[in-house]
Amino acid sequence: MQISQPLTIDEIPEDEQEALLTKVAREIVRRRLTVPAILFLETCKPLNFIGSQMLIAFNPFVTSIFNTAEYQKFALIIEKDANVELLTQLIEKLDAEEKE
């Protein structure tokens, strides 16, 4: 059975978007990549749409590493400026909690 992939961000529920961003933020903090990730996100914020399209283009190469459905959803979610900002905030929050 083939699971259909979302074609637009509107097809991904808000709570699922936030859960996926939180998952990515946790992995970044767990790997101690907080500073490079925030620097990268802030630097590339004006180009997030182009970056998200590149993520979709690389999909065939990362399917052996990542869950395809989550990867495609993340690529769509990161198109929105607000979600890039939310990801940055989640990384900062989780990093601060880890340091406590």
Q: What does the pLDDT look like over 34-92, one tens digit per residue?
A: 999 898 888 887 787 787 777 777 777 666 556 778 888 888 898 888 999 999 999 99
The backbone torsions φ and ψ at residue 63, rounded to the nearest 5 degrees and listed phi first, read -65, -25
Phi then psi for 71, rounded to 5 degrees? -65, -45
pLDDT for 88: 95
Task: Work out the average pLDDT over 14-26.
Answer: 93
Confidence of residue 2 (pLDDT cuts 50, 70, 90): very low
Write the DSSP symbol of residue 50. Answer: H
**């998200």: which residue's tokens?**
52
CA 13 to each of CA 6, 19, 45, 83, 91: distance values in angstroms, whole numbers, following the listed order: 11, 10, 23, 13, 21
pTM (two decimals): 0.78
